[in-house]
Amino acid sequence: MKLLLDTANLEDIRYFNTYYPIVGVTTNPTILSKEGGDVLKLLRSIREIIGSERQLHVQVTESTYEKIVEEAEAIVAFLGKNTFVKIPATDEGLRAVQTLSAKGYGITVTAVLTAAQALLASNAGAAYVAPYVSRLENICADGVGTVADIAEIFAISGTTTQILAASFKTAKEVLDVAAVGCHTATVGSDVMKKLLQHPTTDTSVAGFASDWKTAFGEKTLLECLKK
Interface residues with ligand E4P (CB under 6 A)?
Answer: 6, 26, 28, 30, 110, 130, 132, 134-135, 166-167, 186
Q: What is the closest distance, in whole angstroms, from the C-beta atom of residue 28 to ligand E4P in the complex?
A: 4
86 catalytically annotated: yes
CA dihedral for 164, 187, 59, 52, sign (positive or negative): negative
Task: Return the number of the residue (69 or 130) whose C-beta is nearest ligand E4P.
Answer: 130
DSSP-derived secondary structure letter, 52: S
- Complex with ligand E4P: residue 26 or 101, whichever CB lies closer: 26
Give the list of residues 6+ apart from residue 31 with CB closer than 8 angstroms, or none. Answer: 6, 7, 8
For residue 184, give the 3-state DSSP assignment: strand
The least CB distance from residue 26 to ligand E4P, in Å, is 4
Q: Minimum distance from CB of 86 to ligand E4P (Å)?
A: 7
Q: Going by C-beta distance under 8 Å and a sequence separation of 6 or more, which residues neighbour residue 13?
A: 5, 7, 25, 46, 49, 50
Which residue number, 54 or 135, has a Cβ lying nearer to ligand E4P? 135
Other C-beta atoms within 10 Å of 123: how many? 14
Helices 10-19 & 39-50 angle (0-180, nearest 10): 10
The rounded distance, in Å, linking the Cα atoms of 186 and 176 is 14
Q: How far apart are CA 79 and CA 24, in angstroms?
A: 13
Residues 131 and 134: their CA atoms lie apart, in Å, by: 9
Task: Closer to ligand E4P by CB, 135 or 194: give it.
Answer: 135
Closest distance to ligand E4P from the beta carbon of 14 (Å):
19
Of the residues 2, 81, 86, 219, only one is catalytic, namely 86
Neighbour-count burial of 62, counting CB atoms closer than 10 A to its CB (0-12 exposed, 13-18 middle, 19+ buried)? middle
Based on CB atoms, which residue is closest to ligand E4P, 140 or 156? 140
The residues carrying an active-site annotation are 86
